[in-house]
Chain A
Amino acid sequence: MKLFLVACAALSLCLPLHAKEAAPLAEDPVVEKRLINISEELRCLVCQNESLAGSQADLAKDLREEVRGLIKEGKSDNEVKDFLVSRYGDFVLYRPQIKPSTYLLWAGPFLLLFIGLFSLFRFLKQRSKEVVDTPLSDEEKKRAEALLKDAQS
């Protein structure tokens, strides 16, 4: 019995040596943080309404791996994005770059707003011209006053 206990104690001493800490999911937290930041700005091409960060599609996993590799190589965020744009096109960016082919995209909403405001003002001006003030005659004024008095009493 004593021997058994000693053996147990000896074994338990050995145990911590063997139990290895679970490998962390993210090898390098800084790299993973940048990976998430970049891939949230990128569209997954398979599930087009998902970001690269959130997609479970095989291609998204491969691309995340690729981006992780690029970050480890020391590429800047913009270089990583350029890498993907040069292969998959502007479509991968949720925030398209401002350049001649995207001017309309960026300016369009403001242009529409401007057109809307312009038409509204023109319409209001036109209407105020059409409505002509016709002052009440003395008789009508008296009638109106009488009616108002009736209502008050």
Chain B
Amino acid sequence: MNKFTLPLVGFIALVALLAVGLGLNPREVPSPLVGKPAPDFKAPQLHDPGADFSPKDMLGKVWLFNVWASWCVSCREEHPIIIEYTKRPDAIPVIGLNYKDKREDGQRWLTRFGDPYVLSAFDLDGRVGINYGVYGVPETYLIDKAGVIRFKQIGPITPTVLEEKILPLIKELNK
């Protein structure tokens, strides 16, 4: 064994470690909520201030909970993907959470870009968002029949994430 072998191996290991570290996205903080029951809340609906929505209404169904806002730029990027998804015959219900928005702005945004949601809950002061650990919009939660969060997407849903992570999980949960 050459006397340089050991330092060289150490150096390569260090470079590999740093390369992996550079490739990670520091904004993706693993959510402690995955595997836990979705926090309960009661919030008015965006289109019908008189009616409330609570995650309990969705017990027994697998559903997606998508946090969006009219002021959020990457929501626009994500929106067509959600619309396309809800057109599928086997699509599960998608509930929106209009996060820290103005009611008119939220409604106008949906009129302009299309409304794929069964309904949107209206979270004016962001309290629901805090309970769900939202720190950047859009965020999406996949919730199972028992009301347990199974997956959290931080940032926009991309076609890859939808195909490779969300859809297989939905299939499994719907069994």
Contacts and interface: CB of A to CB of B under 8 A. Distances in A.
> Do most interface residues of chain A lie in helix, strand or loop, or is the interface mixed?
helix
B128 to A, nearest CB: 11
Interface string A51-76: 00000001100110010000000000
Given A45-B29, A48-B26, A88 B133 contact: yes
B22 interface: no
| Range, interface on chain A | 10 to 19
B126 interface: yes
Nearest to B39: A87
A88 B100 contact: no
A45 B132 CA distance: 14
Contacts of A63: 130
A46 interface: yes
Contact of B135 (A59, A66, A85, A90): A59
Q: Which of B32, B100, B129 has the most CB of A within 10 A?
A: B32
Interface string A75-92: 000000000011111110
Interface string B74-118: 000000000000000000000000001000000000000000000
A149 to B, nearest CB: 43
B130 A62 contact: yes
Given A62-B125, A89-B32, A91-B29, A46 B135 contact: yes
Interface of A: 45-46, 48, 58-59, 62-63, 66, 85-91
Given A88-B29, A91-B30, 10 more contacts: A45-B29, A45-B135, A46-B135, A58-B126, A62-B125, A86-B32, A87-B130, A88-B133, A89-B32, A91-B29
The 7 lowest CB-CB distance pairs between A and B, nearest first, are: A45-B135, A87-B133, A89-B32, A91-B29, A62-B126, A88-B133, A89-B29
